[in-house]
Amino acid sequence: DQQVKQNSPSLSVQEGRISILNCDYTNSMFDYFLWYKKYPAEGPTFLISISSIKDKNEDGRFTVFLNKSAKHLSLHIVPSQPGDSAVYFCAAVTSGTYKYIFGTGTRLKVLA
């Protein structure tokens, strides 16, 4: 059972525009959510996270939004840059455990 889903395998955006990556989850016990970025031949790199007590967290060009009632989170990148081209994974975890559940990833391509 895929508890964390990223339904868009790929996304192309023009440089300077907004990139919106989406993630849905099914397990209501998840209370902490994260986004990672992965370049080829490298391990994932942590980007930004959000606790379930918040609905928004911002870090520079990256903002994560959480809609608990819809069990949905999204990552906004503004403005998008060519260096943002990578695979983005969302992940979720429940307090008291360390079993992070990752989505299948969305490949973002930012066009110059």
Partner 1 sequence: DTGVSQNPRHKITKRGQNVTFRCDPISEHNRLYWYRQTLGQGPEFLTYFQNEAQLEKSRLLSDRFSAERPKGSFSTLEIQRTEQGDSAMYLCASSSPGGERGTQYFGPGTRLTVL
- CB contact at 8 A, 23 and 5: yes
Binding of partner 1 by 16 (CB under 8 A): no
Question: Which lies closer to partner 1 via its Cβ, residue 43 or residue 83?
Answer: 43
Our measurement of the distance from residue 22's CA atom to the centroid of its chain's CA atoms, rounded to an integer in Å, reads 7
Contact region for partner 1 (CB under 8 A) — 3-11, 14-22, 60-68, 69-77? 3-11
**If you write DSSP's letter for every residue of 16-54 in order, what string do you get?**
TS-EEEEEEE--TT--EEEEEEE-TTS--EEEEEEETT-
Binder of partner 1 out of 53, 83, 98, 112 (CB under 8 A): 98
- Least separation in angstroms between CB 15 and partner 1: 26
3-state secondary structure of 92: strand
Residue where the block lists tokens 């609905």: 55
Q: Does 60 bind partner 1 (CB under 8 A)?
A: no
- Interface residues with partner 1 (CB under 8 A) are 4, 6, 9, 32, 34, 36, 41-46, 49, 51, 89, 91, 93, 97-105
